[in-house]
């Protein structure tokens, strides 16, 4: 995402230095690749969390008040604490499998987290105009679908910049290390100029489209015929639902030209009749506003089809973070921006049909 370049460079520098110091602490090489930066609210961030997590809250004090969070995979935390404690590899594997986190593990990992926080203090302070200090607070574990979500746990309900770091320990990829910085704190650490009124709408839409493509990548080559044989889908059809007749015919045309069997209709069509006529393998759902009624069609399609895994690609000219979350919650499998780009849509359809 655009903006906060200074903050991203500071975090990246602190992470690389932390990796070097953690390598010495663990007696194993720990490396950090470049971080990806996304913007989430709490609800959307937790919706993206599938594995159990170990959450370390960190107070930012002095002239930059706020609270950020270090979020690790719980299994990674058990691994690193086990290495620091000298636990035999077989026992570490067992504890990771069963998600066993004991008091000694928490203390050991808190030492690792405290080392990371100390490095952030030493890297950030010389680059900031005023006093800056981070202090670790008691960590917690969070198991999705099991532990209760409250206003404050596992993280407070705020808008966050989420810095996703890819880390390796001993050459093996670890699962998760996210740094959640509240937007209010990010703006203090790296003040942004006001967005100029002259910024073109096309540029804003382009940035939004690029963000969506990073969140929902498709086949990089736009491989239209994945999941097909000799360019023809062997079983089932693709359903295109679009109220704009020109857009509907355009999508229908280029999908037909690439070997797909197509059913096309408007959003008000009788879904029961459609699914009674053909075996539908995927749905392209074009929307005008991405409002509650249009998004509710995802749930209706899943219900009528009787297939909870039916891939639905929803398309609209604009998306908000809330809209994206609602679309996913309603059952959308992927999200793209209008106007339809042939290679992008073909790549996503190919990916889903190949996995069917």
The segment with the largest mean pLDDT, out of 28-42, 208-222, 313-327, is 28-42
pLDDT of 96 > 90? The answer is: yes
CB-based contacts of 317, cutoff 8 Å, min separation 6: 205, 288, 337, 338, 339
Q: What is the pLDDT of residues 117-170, one digit of tens each?
A: 999 999 999 899 899 999 999 999 999 989 999 999 999 999 999 999 988 998
Prior bond of 145 cis (ω within 30°):
no
Question: Looking at the domain assignment, is residue 320 inside a domain?
Answer: yes
Q: What is the pLDDT of residue 60?
A: 94
Note whether 160 and 87 are same-domain residues.
Answer: yes
pTM of the model: 0.56
**Are residues 299 and 327 both part of a single domain?**
yes
Predicted confidence (pLDDT) at residue 75 exceeds the cutoff of 70: yes
Spatial distance between the Cα atoms of 87 and 92, rounded to a whole number of angstroms: 6
37 & 181 share domain:
yes
**Rounded distance between C-alpha atoms, residue 162 and residue 49, angstroms:** 13
Residue that is last in its domain, among 189, 216, 238:
189
- Model pLDDT, residue 170: 87
Residue 253's contacts (CB-CB under 8 Å, 6 or more residues apart) are none
Task: Tell me, yes or no, whether 110 and 150 share the same domain.
Answer: yes
Helices (H) and strands (E) in the chain, counts: 12, 15
Same domain, 125 and 19: yes
Which of 337, 336, 265 lies closest to 301, judged by CA?
265
SS3 346: helix
Q: Are residues 91 and 223 in the same domain?
A: no
274 and 300, same domain (yes or no)? yes
Q: Residue 111: pLDDT above 80?
A: yes
Q: Tell me whether residue 38 is in a domain.
A: yes
- Is 350 within a domain? yes
**Nearest-angstrom CA–CA distance, 280 and 271:** 11
Note down the domain range covering 243: 203-355
What is the predicted pLDDT for the residue at 327?
A: 84
Lowest mean pLDDT among 179-183, 222-226, 267-271: 222-226
Q: In CATH, what number is assigned to the domain containing residue 340?
A: 3.40.50.2300
> In whole angstroms, what is the distance from residue 267 CA to residue 317 CA?
16
Distance CA 290, CA 324 (A): 9
Instruction: Indicate whether 292 and 224 sit together in one domain.
Output: yes
Predicted local confidence at residue 313, as pLDDT: 94
Q: Report the CATH number that the domain containing residue 63 is assigned in CATH.
A: 3.40.1550.10
Does residue 213 share a domain with residue 131?
A: no
Residues 247 and 341 sit within 8 Å (Cβ to Cβ):
no
% of the chain at pLDDT higher than 70? 87
**For residues 63 and 132, is the Cβ–Cβ distance under 8 A?**
yes
Give residue-wise pLDDT tens across range 195-224: 343 344 445 545 555 556 565 665 544 443
Residue 195 lies in a domain: no
d(CA 276, CA 202): 41
Q: What is the mean pLDDT of residues 13-36?
A: 88
Residue 28 resides in a domain: yes
Best CA proximity match to 134, nearest among 22, 58, 76? 58
Range of lowest pLDDT (6-10, 270-274, 324-328): 324-328
**Domain closes at, from 160, 189, 218:** 189
Place of tokens 């693709």: 238
Please state the rounded mean pLDDT for residues 77-104. 94
Regarding whether 231 and 317 lie in a shared domain, the answer is yes
- Total domains in the fold of the chain: 2
pLDDT number for residue 248: 93
The distance from CA 12 to its chain's CA centroid, rounded to whole angstroms, is 19
In this structure, is residue 198 part of a structural domain? no
The mean of the pLDDT values for the chain is: 85
Residues 16 and 162 in one domain: yes
Query: 329-351: per-residue pLDDT in tens?
Result: 888 989 888 889 898 899 889 88
Which of 134, 161, 189 finishes a domain? 189
Q: Crossing angle for the helix pair 5-26 and 103-124, nearest 10 degrees? A: 130
Cis check: omega of the bond before 154, within 30 degrees of 0? yes
Q: CA-CA distance, 288 to 286, in Å (whole number)?
A: 7
Q: Does the residue 244 lie in any domain?
A: yes
Mean per-residue pLDDT, 92-100: 94
**Both 180 and 303 in a single domain?**
no
Of residues 194 and 354, more confidence is placed in: 354
Asked if residue 150 belongs to a domain, the reply is yes
- Given phi > 0 = left and psi -120 to 50 = alpha, else beta, which region is 323? alpha
The predicted pLDDT at position 325 comes to 76
């Amino acid at each position: 995402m655009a903006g906060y370049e200074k903050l991203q460079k500071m975090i990246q520098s602190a992470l690389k230095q932390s990796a070097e110091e953690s390598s010495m602490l663990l007696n194993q090489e720990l490396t950090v690749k470049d971080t990806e930066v996304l913007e989430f609210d709490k609800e959307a961030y937790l919706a993206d969390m599938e594995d159990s997590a170990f959450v370390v809250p960190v107070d930012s004090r002095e002239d930059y008040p706020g609270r950020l969070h270090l979020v690790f995979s719980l299994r990674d935390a058990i691994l690193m604490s086990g290495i620091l404690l000298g636990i035999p590899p077989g026992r570490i594997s067992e504890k990771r499998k069963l998600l066993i986190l004991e008091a000694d593990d928490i203390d050991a990992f808190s030492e690792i987290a405290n080392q990371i926080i100390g490095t952030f203090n030493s890297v950030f302070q010389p680059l900031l105009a005023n006093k800056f200090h981070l202090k670790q607070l008691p960590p917690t574990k969070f198991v999705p679908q099991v532990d209760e979500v409250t206003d404050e746990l596992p993280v407070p309900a705020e808008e966050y910049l989420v810095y996703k770091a890819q880390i390796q320990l001993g050459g093996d990829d670890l699962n998760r290390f996210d740094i959640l910085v509240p937007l209010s704190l990010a703006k203090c650490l790296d003040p942004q100029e006001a967005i100029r009124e002259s910024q073109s709408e096309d540029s804003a839409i382009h940035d939004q489209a690029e963000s969506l493509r990073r969140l929902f990548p498709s086949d990089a080559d736009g491989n239209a015929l994945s999941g097909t044989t000799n360019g023809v889908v062997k079983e089932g059809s693709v359903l295109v639902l679009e109220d704009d007749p020109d857009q509907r015919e355009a999508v229908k045309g280029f999908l037909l030209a690439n070997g797909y069997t197509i059913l096309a209709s408007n959003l008000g069509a009788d879904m029961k009749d459609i699914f009674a006529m053909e075996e539908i393998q995927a749905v392209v759902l074009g929307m005008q506003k991405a409002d509650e009624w249009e998004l509710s069609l995802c749930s209706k399609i899943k219900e009528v089809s009787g297939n909870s895994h039916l891939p639905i690609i929803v398309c609209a000219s604009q998306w908000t973070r809330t809209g994206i979350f609602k679309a996913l919650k309603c059952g959308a499998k992927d999200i793209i921006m209008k106007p339809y780009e042939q290679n992008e849509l073909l790549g996503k359809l190919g990916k889903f049909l190949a996995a069917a």
